[in-house]
Amino acid sequence: MKLKTAFLATLASAMLATTAITLAAAQTPSNIIVFGDSLSDIGNNNWIYATGTPITNLDSKGNKFTWVNYLADSLFKQPAWYSDYPNKSHQFSYVNNVSYAYAGADTSNDYLNADWPVQTSMPAVNADCSKPGLLKNLGTVTSACVPGLLKQVDLYLSDVRQKPYATSLFFIWAGGNDLFYKLPTTDETPEQIKQIIGTAVMNIVQAKNTLMDHGVSPQQIYVLNLPDLSSTPFAIKLGLNDLTALTLAFNGSLATAVTASDSKHAGLDGSHVISMYDLMNNIVLNPDQYQLTNTTESCVENFQAPLCQEYLFYDLKHPTAQMHKTISDFIRKSL
C-alpha cells in the first residue's frame, strides 16, 4: 500500500494522551452493554470457523472468554451473555451484561456477508439480511448477516424497547475491520484514506449520539480506541508497517470527534476514551510485566493452541484469553 508520508504524519499528530478514567455516573452501575467486533464477541458469531464462540483460546479455568466476560465478573460477579441467548429473553431484565458485538463487524449500519462461505478481505454488504444470523436459501447458507456497529445499537434499542437502563455502562470498540478491510490491500489516495477513517469515526460518534438520543448520559458511555494494528501478526507477516500511522490517525480523529459537543449531544469526557493503543504498546515494550515471552507471533500458527501460555496473540489478529483478562483489568482499574 502506497501512502503519502506527509499526510499520515499530519493525521498521526493527533495521537491520544493517556488519561486516568473516572466513573462519573451518579448511580452505581448495574451492568455492561458492549458493541463492536470480534475483540468483544462472546458468542454471537455463527459461521464457518468459529461457530458461536469467541475467537481466542481456553483460559486456565477452561473458559473461552473475552474481556467482556472478565469485566462482567470483575464488576458485578455476574456472567455476560451474547445477544441472542436464549432467544433474547434474558435482556428484558435490563440489568444483565450483554455483548452485541459480532466477529467480522465494521462500524456501518449494514449487514455484511463476512467470512461465508470463505474468508474474504472485503466482506460485501448483503441487503437481503433482515436480522443477524445465517441466511439460507433452500437450506443452503448464503450469508452470515453480520450486523455493523450501528445495526448493533439498533438491535439493542429494539430489545430494551427504546428505553436503555439508567445505570448500564456502554462500551464501544470498533473500527479495526474498517481499516483491515479497506486499506492494506489497495493503493488509496490520501483523500480516500481520510474518507475511510472519517466514515468509521463518524459512525462511532453516531452510535454514541443514538444512545444519547434515547436517554443515555455521556457518563454512561466509554469508547475504546484501536491498538497499533501494525503490531498484529497479520500485519507483521504482510509487512504492513503503514498501519501504525493509520491507527494513530484513526485514534486522533476518534478522540477529537467523540469528545466534541454539538447542538444536541454532549461530548464524552476525555477520560471516557480508553487507550488500547497505550496498553498494547506497553505490553509489547514490557512483556515481562505481563508474563509474556511472545508478542509477535500467532499461537495457532506455532501449533501451541489451545494453551497459548505466554502468547499475546491467539491467531493473526486476536488476543489470547490471558490478554483479554489483561484488557479487562486495564479497564476495571481505570474506572
pLDDT recorded at residue 50: 47
182 phi, psi to nearest 5 deg:
-110, -15
Query: Mean pLDDT over residues 131-148, rounded?
Result: 81
Which residue is associated with the grid cell 497499533? Answer: 228
pLDDT recorded at residue 47: 64
pLDDT recorded at residue 15: 40
pLDDT recorded at residue 173: 98
Query: Mean pLDDT over residues 261-285, rounded?
Result: 97
Spatial contact of 104 and 80, defined as CB atoms under 8 Å apart: no
Which residue is associated with the grid cell 441466511? Answer: 135
Query: Mean pLDDT over residues 145-156, rounded?
Result: 95
pLDDT recorded at residue 324: 97
Q: Quickly state the pLDDT bin for 20 (edges 50, 70, 90).
A: very low
pLDDT recorded at residue 190: 82
Nearest C-alpha neighbor of 271 from the set 24, 19, 15: 19
Give the global pTM: 0.88
Query: Mean pLDDT over residues 265-279, rounded?
Result: 97
Q: How far apart are CA 288 and CA 14, in angstroms?
A: 30
pLDDT recorded at residue 17: 35
Spatial contact of 181 and 106, defined as CB atoms under 8 Å apart: yes
pLDDT recorded at residue 327: 98
Query: Mean pLDDT over residues 154-176, rounded?
Result: 95
**pLDDT higher at 330 or 191:** 330
pLDDT of 26 strictly over 60? no
pLDDT recorded at residue 334: 85
pLDDT of 16 strictly over 50? no
% of the chain beyond a pLDDT of 70: 84
pLDDT recorded at residue 122: 67
pLDDT recorded at residue 115: 64
> Model confidence over 47-87: pLDDT tens digits?
655 466 899 999 989 999 999 999 999 999 999 998 876 55
**pLDDT higher at 308 or 113:** 308
Q: Is 120 helix (H, G, I), strand (E, B) or coil?
A: coil
Report cis status (omega within 30 of 0) of the bond before 164: no
Cβ neighbours, 10 Å, residue 62: 7
Q: What structural domains and CATH numbers belong to the chain? A: 30-109+148-334 (3.40.50.1110)
Query: Mean pLDDT over residues 250-274, rounded?
Result: 97
Q: Quickly state the pLDDT bin for 11 (edges 50, 70, 90).
A: low
HEC sequence for 41-86: CCCCCCCCCCCCCCCCCCCCCCCCCCHHHHHHHHHHCCCEEECCCC
Q: Quickly state the pLDDT bin for 232 (edges 50, 70, 90).
A: very high
Q: Quickly state the pLDDT bin for 287 (edges 50, 70, 90).
A: very high
